[in-house]
Every structure is written in C-alpha cells, then in structure tokens.
A and B are shown apart, each in its own frame.
Chain A
Amino acid sequence: MMRKAIRVPCRCMVSFGIAMLLLTTLTGCWDRTELEQLSIILAAGLDSDGNGGVKMTLQVFVPKEGGGGGQQSGSEPKKGGEGGGQTTVFSASGPTLGHVLFELQNKMPRYIFWGHAEVYVVSKDLASKGVLEHFDFFQRFQSPRERALIFVADGQASEFLQSLPQLQNNVAELFEDLGKSRAVWKISLLEMVKMLSGDSGTAYAPFVEWSSSELGVQIPSVKKLAIIKKDRYIGGMAGNDMLGIMLLRGEKRLNVSYCEEGETPQDCLTLRLRQNQIDIEPHWDGRRLTMRVKVFPYMDAIQNNSRFDVSNAKETHQAQLKTNQKIKRIIEHSIKISQEQWQADVFGFAKDVHRKYAKEWNRTIKQNWERIYKDMDTEITVESLIVHPGSIREKLKKIGER
C-alpha cells in the first residue's frame, strides 16, 4: 500500500522537474522585454509637416540618473527649451503615422513602448486637415492606448511637448492634470472617436494654448474647447460659450456669478455648482425641431455682495430667479453660437433626437441634421436651487457700512 502511494507522485515530480528545466531554454524567447530595454513614451504630438504629411513627436522618459539636459530653471521666458528635466523628445515625419513610427524606431536606440503614453496632442493645423486618418493608427495598432487624452494645440504640438511645467515633472503629467481638472476636458481618444462616429458627428476637445504666467513664463493652458466636425477642426468656443457646454454636459465645480445690472461689479452673488441635473426632451413636429432643456443646478453661495440675503428663504428665491435667467442666457447663447457660427451639434442633441424619434431619424432627420440643427428652437428652463448659503449669514460688506 505504501509503495503504491509513492510511485505516482514520483513520476509527477520528475516530469515537473523536466518541464522546469526545459523552461530555462526558453529565456530570451517569447516576448520578454526588460524594463531597461524600453523607451517609455509619455506623450505623443502630431503636427503637419508642411507638405501633406505628418510629423510625430514622442516625449521619451530618460531613465538615467540626473535626467536629460539637466534641470531648467522655470523662470526662463522661453517656449520649449532643450528637453524636459527627465524627458527628451524624438520626432520624425512621413506620409502616415505608421510610416513615421518606423522612422522613429530607427532613430531611437530602444524599443518604443506605448503602454504609458497617456496624452496625444494634435496641432490645430493638422486637425483642420482631418484627424480620423491618424486616429486610425492609434486605434488599429495594439500598442497605443485608446484611453489616452486628446488635446488640440494652438501652434506646434512638439513645442508643447518640449516645455517644462512648473508643478509637474514632465509635460505629460501637466496635460493629464489638466484633463483631470474638468470633466469636459478629459476627452480620451476612444471618446473622441465615439463622438465623431456618433449621431451628431461632432466632437470637442480641450484647446491648449500658450499663455504667459505672472513669472513671465509661457505655460500651456486651456481656455476654450476645440470643435471638431466631421473629423476636421473648425473652431473653438471660449468663455461663457464654453461654460454653456459645461453646464449642459453636467460639469460640476463651476462658478456662476450673478451681478446686479447697472450697478458696480461688487454687487455680485457668486455661486458654485454642486450638482447639475439636465433633462433634455426633443420635440419634432415633422418640420421643426424644438429642444426642451431643463436644467436643475444645485448651487452653494461662495461670495455674496448682492442685495439678496441668501440665508433668508424669500430673498433666496429672488436670487434663484435671477440666477435662472443668467444661466438660461449663457446656455441659450452657447447653443446659438453652435447653431449659427459653427453649425455643429457640440452638445450631442442628435443622440436624444435619435432616441426619441428613431423612425423619423432614419427616414428624414439624419440626412438633414445639419440644416435641422441650425433651425432648431430651444426652450430652456432653469430651476436653480441655492442649497447652501455659506458659512456666514450676514454680509460682511454691511458690517463695514454700518
């Protein structure tokens, strides 16, 4: 009985041992790539190369101690500079991205590793010639991430990749942080492609441009949203129009100020959006489209110099009415700009129409969406609610006046 029990596992052990020994002959085979054999790409920039082709710039992490090119002081009023603190850039150009990648790989000593490239910056010039043909590369090739963030750059994308951020270690981090700071700025490649291939055929992406900071340094910042219609960049929406898009996309942490008309700007009530419910109800009568939009913003007062006492229910109601008007105006204007200036459905209303009027959409609306959108009426209702009057009740200004 004892003997029998011994023999069976013995054979297993031997075969296991042989298998392990055989495995040692496999080293170097398969797809083992040590970390030090990779050049880790942090961001990729796409520019037009001037004669119909595309120029790709890769921001590459420098693993050796001390970084590449040494630390640069942040006070130099200079765009770009010679590489980042611990990053460097490689670029090549060619007719297609696939071709460019081949060129780049020849230039670079190590294997290009896309796994950590989380930012793609596309220059305005290239974007206005069409982006989808390049995005095909990112989507089809397995290595690049489709969750990487898309930015449209004012000027050369490569310049942005060469700049040195003040807070972050490298530009890729800066762009990621920018993307995280606002929901409408966090547009991944996948989302963009989805929007472009969706019903409205219009996408938006954060538009990054140089702005000079107080120290005199040029820093990348986002002030408007780039509108990409049918794969081409057509323009941007900034200021209150961008705010309108943000409001309708359910963005939080927005500040809206209501100011007394005709009085000094000090007489303002500034509110911060805590939560935002949006209810979009399209109405199609066969010829005209009416978009009924209901917005329910929940807001906190963060500064109050207006005549309203927001801790008093009656006066709060008054303030809410005023705020409603203000928000309504912002949204209306935003939609109007998109209708008249860009003829682009940035808000994704097409999806709601398609959902409600599926048959009509396929039969008539789809073909004429651009025209219908342009003539679309809007009925906007805003019912804001000031939920939190703030930490103090009385206005400090009043105390000063006394």
Chain B
Amino acid sequence: MIIVPSAMPLQEASDANMVWSSEGKENVKNLENIFHHCSDIVFFSFSFQGGQQASLIYVDGMVDNLQIDEHVIEPLVTRYEQDSEEDGVTVESVRRTLTAVKVKTHTTMQEVVELMLSGMTILIPHQSDTAFSIEAIQFDKRSVTEPDAESVVRGPRDGFVETMQSNTSLLRRRIRSPKLKIQPIKRGKLTHTTINLVYMEGLASEQLLEEVKRRLDNITLESILDSGYVEQCLEDNPYSPFPQLLTTERPDVASSHLLEGRVVILVDGSPVALIAPALWVSFLQSPEDYYERHFFGTIVRWLRYASIFVALLGPSIYVAVISYHQEMIPTALILTMAKARAQVPFPALVEALLMELMFEALREAGARLPKQVGSAVSIVGALVIGQAAISAGLVSAPMVMVVAITGVASFIVPHYNLGISVRLLRFPIILLSGFLGLIGTMMGFILLVTHLLTLKSFGVPYLTGVAPFRSSMMKDILIRQPVWVENMTKETDQMQNAEQSSDKANQGNGLG
C-alpha cells in the first residue's frame, strides 16, 4: 500500500481555525471549518434544560450512541441546573449533570481535534470557553482469535488484534502486577498512531528503555499503518538481511519476553507486537517448547538448529558437491545421481536456481492468493516441484528432493521473518557455490557469520549466548531446561533482580 503524503499536515491545514476562542459557538464554527467535507463527523446541536445551546461532535461509527443518549443528552436535557445566576454555562454544573464516567475538560483546539478523532465525544456548550470530552467509544473490532501465523498445538489460543485496548488488556490479564508499565507515545504526523511501550519496571534495564524511547521519539514518519513501519525505524542496522526485532502475535510470547526484561512495543492498528532486543536464539524458540515437556522442547530445538543450516546451505552444498567435488558423495548415491542427471539439460547451478525460484514463487503465490483459489496453488505446486518436472526432463529427481527438504526445513523456523531472510540468503550462497564450489559455500557462510557477529539489537549483540558466550544462557540454548529447575529467571544480567523472586504475582504467570 502506498501512502501518498498529503499536501499539508493537519496543523497547517487550517491555521486560522485552530485558534481556541472563549466563545463556544465560535469554536464549533471553527471545527466545522476544519472538518468540512468530512461526512462522518457528526455535529449535533441541542439545548439544555435551561435553554442553553450546546453542540455534540463525534465521529460516526466510533461512538456508543446508547451511552451518549443515556449519560450525556438525557441528563443535560432533563436535569440540567444552572448553579449561578450568570448567563454562561459553568464547568461544575455540566460535570455534575453528566453521568458518564470519563469526562475531561479541554481548552485547546489541538487537543479537542485529536481526541475527537480517536473516538471521544466532544461537548461544547455555546456559552462556555471549555470543551468536554466524554469517552464512550465503541467501534467494530475483530474479536480475539488464534493467530494463524503462529499456531501451537498446546498453549493459549488468543492473539493480539488491531485494537490497542484489547492488546494491552491481554497483556495485563497475564501479568497482574503494577510493575507492568504501559507508556503511550503518539507518532505519525498524519495518522497520529498510538505506540505503546510496554515493559516490566525493575526487570527492563534503564538504558534499554531510554534507547527505545529515544528511537521512538526520532520517528518522523507521516504515517504508521502497521508495526512494520515502526520496526524498520527502530532497527540498528537497516541494511542487514536479518530481523532485529522479534515479532509476535501471541500475548503469551510477549508476556514471557516482558518477564525476561525485554520491551514490547504495541502499535495501534496492528496485531503484531515488536519485542526488543531480539537475540538470534529467540527466533528459534517457539512458545510450545515451554508448554510441552522439556525432553520434547530440547529435541525440537535441536531439530530447528539443524534445519536452519539445511535451509541455508542445503541447495548450495548440493550444487557445490555435484559440480566440483563428486568424490565426496558415496559411490552408490552418485551412481543414482548420475543416472538421474543424464537427461537434464541444465547445469546443476541453473537447475537449483530454477527450482528454488519456483518454490519461492509458489510460496508467495500461496500466501497472496484468495482462500477460494488457494487449493489451485497446491495442485500446481505439486506438479512444478514433483514428478511432472522430472518426467518433463527439466530437473533431476535429487534436485526436487533437495528443494523439498530445504523448503520444509525453512518452514520449521518458528518466526516467519527469520525464515524469510534465511530463504533469501540461500540465493547468493547458491551462486557462490556454483562458481567456487565448497570454497564459495564456506565463503558465503563465513561472510554471514561475520555479519551476524557485528550485528546488534538495541546494543545487545545479536548472537548473545553463543558469542559473546554466556554459560547461564546455555540451559536455554543447548537444552530447554525444565521449568521447575529455576523459577523461570533467565539469562541477561538485567534480570538479576531481587525484586522478582519476592514478586508473587509473577510466579503464576511466569511461563516463558
């Protein structure tokens, strides 16, 4: 989606109208000017019991009409009593009459506009210099469902949604502690998107918090439509192929990272939460590792370590070995391979690139296609990467196997965004292997490892645990330590906090 920058930011759009006048009637007029051609903004005028005129301004579809009727209009129209002999409307008398819970007063145009756009109902008595904002928000939102992209067999089935309030409540329901802090920041010159910085006080380090806040403050985007926008602004190295923030749609994952002293960034309008700092090992951990028994977790974790190498190097090693180092393949295997390759017109390198590109195309097509035609992709896919391709004489059977194995291996990575980078990095390494053999493969691999070693996420080395080596983290890298061994306190120095052990509230929810 391309965001066309509008000609003028909001503030400049109607400078003349942005002035707050002491006359309520004037203010309503100004607002009408600001919102001309906005058919969804409702200006509703009515009079109090005493005959005073007032305007109710709200965005259609974001306000609970019943509540406004019951707690604003009805009391004002039937029970309003002027407490002084003066002509104007006093703040106190209005406040007394309103039965709504959340009522605030405002005296700047800026505030009023912003609040109204975020769903508040604005009440402006014509004879007052004050505006009232009443919170009676109700708009259509998606219900909390299981995130499709991060499903688990065992574990909670709720996921973040597009609404900020639902998301913060999902976190608060898991961590019932006053130490869970949620700080809002508004970013996006046009969209005025709320970004919530969520962290555990005392667990998250001060420097980390300051750094995150500093980077969030530096965001100068016109619009923020998804947490992806924020993610790209927060990264340490925007040119790295590796994701430097962990993303999740699962509140349980977010909570577990919060309890490990990390910071969660929620963006209004996006069901994807960002977690900082992200470590390489966290990308290879699935919440289910912790929910299932620890043997299972350990084995699955090692399966992932193995498969990320396969996903990255599988086709490259195949290409290198088959075009340079034929003596490395067991005799029985190379004889079958030679037989299979006898009909193939392309060199192994071209064959590998062709098949990998086809596989990526299929994956992309599968992700973009409407659900109704989704099954067509799998049918075509089976033909392209399968028996038909072999009998057409375009590719050899071992190549199909390599591509299939690589494909499966790349989908084992539990975090999709790391899977993408691994899948993309395959291609340069295949090229290198095709030109230089195993030397090329190793060159590519060493280049990647070197890059990973220099990479940092919010000042924390990306490979923390492995390099720099942390023996305390090994119990969560080499094995998945049983949860009863240590009360879930994990790694990094920030977490060596005495308060946590005394905090009973954490223990109940401390999975992760």
Contact = CB atoms under 8 A, between A and B. Distances in A.
A6 interface: yes
Given A9-B237, A34-B323, A40-B334, A63 B339 contact: yes
B453 to A, nearest CB: 15
Nearest to A29: B435
Interface string A32-48: 11111010101000000
Given A10-B239, A36-B342, A65-B339, A42 B331 contact: yes
A118 B339 CA distance: 19
B347 A6 contact: no
B324 interface: yes
B326 interface: yes
Query: In terms of DSSP, what is the predominant structure of the interface of chain B?
Result: helix
A20 interface: yes
A116 B335 CA distance: 10
A38 B347 CA distance: 13
Contacts of B218: 2
A38 B342 contact: no
Given A33-B326, A40-B338, 17 more contacts: A20-B428, A23-B431, A30-B435, A32-B324, A33-B323, A33-B324, A35-B323, A38-B338, A40-B326, A40-B335, A63-B338, A65-B342, A113-B327, A115-B327, A116-B331, A116-B334, A118-B331
Contacts of A36: 338, 341-342, 344
Contacts of B459: none
Contact of B435 (A5, A27, A65, A113): A27
Interface in A228-257: none
B209 interface: no
Question: What are the 4 closest A-B residue pairs judged by CB atoms, nearest first?
Answer: A115-B327, A9-B239, A63-B338, A63-B342
Interface string A114-129: 0110100000000000
Interface in A91-125: 113, 115-116, 118
Interface string A49-87: 000000000000101110000000000000000000010
Nearest to A33: B323
A35 B334 contact: yes
A38 B326 contact: yes
B322 A35 contact: yes
Given A23-B435, A33-B324, A61 B338 contact: yes
A169 B344 CA distance: 24
Interface in B328-377: 331, 334-335, 337-339, 341-344, 347-349
B436 interface: yes
A178 B324 CA distance: 31
B437 interface: yes
Interface string A166-178: 0001001000000
A49 B256 CA distance: 79
* Interface residue tally on A, bucketed by range: 20 to 34
B238 interface: yes
A30 B237 contact: no
Contacts of B428: 20
B326 A63 contact: no
Contacts of B342: 36, 63-65
Contacts of A172: 331
A30 B436 contact: yes
A291 B348 CA distance: 60
Contacts of A30: 435-436
B432 interface: yes
Nearest to B240: A9
B326 A32 contact: no
Interface of B: 218, 237-239, 322-324, 326-327, 331, 334-335, 337-339, 341-344, 347-349, 428, 431-432, 434-437
A24 B326 CA distance: 22
B185 to A, nearest CB: 19
- Which one of B343, B347, B428 has the greatest number of beta carbons of chain A within 10 Å? B347
B431 A20 contact: yes
Contacts of B341: 34-36, 63
Given A20-B428, A118-B331, A32 B338 contact: no
A392 interface: no
A251 B360 CA distance: 55
- Which one of A33, A34, A115 has the greatest number of beta carbons of chain B within 10 Å? A34
Given A42-B331, A65-B342, A118-B331, A34 B431 contact: no
A13 interface: yes
Interface in A145-192: 145, 169, 172
Contacts of A396: none
Contacts of B335: 40, 61, 63, 86, 116, 169
A38 B342 CA distance: 11
A26 interface: yes
Contacts of B327: 113, 115-116, 145
A31 interface: yes
A69 to B, nearest CB: 16
A31 B324 CA distance: 7
27 contacts: A5-B238, A6-B239, A9-B237, A10-B239, A20-B428, A20-B431, A24-B435, A26-B435, A27-B349, A27-B434, A31-B324, A32-B323, A32-B324, A33-B323, A35-B323, A35-B341, A35-B348, A36-B338, A36-B341, A38-B326, A61-B338, A63-B335, A63-B341, A65-B339, A115-B326, A116-B335, A169-B335
A115 to B, nearest CB: 3
Contacts of A9: 237, 239
B323 to A, nearest CB: 5
B338 A35 contact: yes
Nearest to B344: A36
Contacts of B326: 33, 35, 38, 40, 113, 115-116
B248 to A, nearest CB: 27
A28 B290 CA distance: 51
- Which one of B239, B335, B432 has the greatest number of beta carbons of chain A within 10 Å? B335
B350 to A, nearest CB: 10
Given A33-B324, A35-B322, A23 B331 contact: no
Given A9-B237, A113-B326, A34 B338 contact: no
B389 to A, nearest CB: 17
Contact of B347 (A10, A34, A65): A34
A263 to B, nearest CB: 49
B396 to A, nearest CB: 9
B432 A23 contact: yes
Nearest to B218: A2
A6 B337 CA distance: 46
A169 B334 CA distance: 14
Contacts of A64: 339, 342
B330 to A, nearest CB: 9
A6 B435 CA distance: 30
Given A6-B238, A42-B331, A116-B331, A35 B435 contact: no
Nearest to A8: B239
Contacts of B347: 34
